[in-house]
Amino acid sequence: MNRGFTAEIYLNAISHNLKVIKDISRNLPVIAVVKADAYGHGAVKISGRLINDGVEYLAVAFTEEAKELRDAGINIPILVLFDPDAEDIFKYSLVPVISDKKTAVVLSKEAERRNTALNVHIKIDTGMGRLGLTGDPVKEILEIAGMKGINIEGVMSHFSEADIKDESFARMQIASFNSVRKELLQKGLNIRLFHIANSAAVEALPESHFDAIRPGIMLYGYSPVLTSNSQLIPVMTVKAKISALRRLPAGAPISYGRTFVTKRESLIGVMAAGYADGLSRRFSNNAEVIVRGRRVSVVGRVCMDLTMIDLTDIEHVEEGDEAVIIGRQGNESIDAAELARRADTIPYEILTSIGYRAKKVYY
């Protein structure tokens, strides 16, 4: 039997979410973040749909991700956020994010050698403490602007905490970013795109929108803002089949470590998905799935390839029935945000952990 571990991706939901984002931002240019295989949704298909819906700029983490998109025929600008490889940047016509002057020097020399000009975005660190120019960023940006073969198309930064109720630090970052922006413009630099707004800031901090926005998790149907009354629709549904049914007596231990013992005669289903498929071991005795329109509990420890569920109260269940891990069946629904709360993590990790073993089906 095919184990039926599938990730169903609904492209109409992507289109809907993009429209919600555009409405919030009053149709500012969208730099759509499709890194990590579009947060586990499949970067090529997702990017194609976004382009059809009018997105003119994509962002990925590394050049390897951009190469996949170029090889698939995607030819709009692609921003490479981290660790740009100089050779691939030019070979695949990518737009690197420069976070230090050393990288700028390398790219300038390569551009000069190729007798070409390279569009770049400069990242400044306004409080994330990860990557970006610090100290006197205006001075360094002016120096980079003077390098041969370098055309500064954009200047960007990244929020440390735009998704919490206390917005004071985020507002400090906005003020710092805007100060650099104003000084650069006063000095006559023709920079087209200043951008700092991630998904949380798109919703909660309209003053951060500037010339473009960089939504990520919002595109896939989840709001990072706890107080959001979001109209977003989750794009992914995840299912697995019940590969075996076992009738066990009271007192029977389930899975590794005997962390669950049946309290009555029980019908236990073996679901053909495990932690190698992105179902965290933290879901052991601590999650539910939907079978025949009803929630059932995960029992025992999640295994590498299999997970046990208690089907005792479900009528007419059969081997081969679907178990919905993320999604809706009947009147019940489970989303990545619920699973994230159970695993003490964030929806980003849940979505990106749906591994390579999931068969993606697009609708």
Q: Domain 11-220 classified CATH 3.20.20.10? A: yes
Listed by start position, the domains of the chain span 11-220, 236-362
Do residues 156 and 137 touch, judged by C-beta distance below 8 A? no
Q: Could you give the C-alpha distances from 333 to 36, 94, 244, 295, 310, in angstroms and in order?
A: 25, 40, 24, 9, 18
Compute the distance between CA of residue 76 and CA of residue 82 in angstroms, rounded to an integer.
19
Task: Say which residue the tokens 């081997």 belong to.
Answer: 319
Query: Considering only CA atoms, which of 218, 152, 147 is closest in space to residue 185?
Result: 152
Active-site choice (91, 256, 263, 356):
256
Residue 3's pLDDT is what?
A: 75
DSSP state letters, 293-317: TEEEEB-S---SS-EEEE-TT-TT-
pLDDT at 60: 98
pLDDT of amino acid 165: 73
pTM above 0.75, yes or no: yes
Q: Which helix (H) or strand (E) holds 218?
A: none
Answer yes or no: 348 catalytic.
no
pLDDT of amino acid 175? 97
Residues of the chain with confidence (pLDDT) below 70 = 1, 162, 226-229
Please indicate whether residue 256 is annotated as part of the active site. yes
Domain covering 236-362, topology = Lyase, Ornithine Decarboxylase; Chain A, domain 1 (2.40.37)
Burial label for 52, CB within 10 Å (0-12, 13-18, 19+), is exposed
Decide if 81 contacts 35 (C-beta within 8 A): yes
Report pLDDT for 192: 96
Active-site pick, 10, 22, 35, 275: 35
pLDDT at residue 354, rounded to an integer: 87
In a 13 Å sphere around the CA of 180, the CA atoms on its Cβ side amount to 29
**Residue 344 region, left (φ>0) first, then alpha (ψ -120 to 50), else beta?**
left
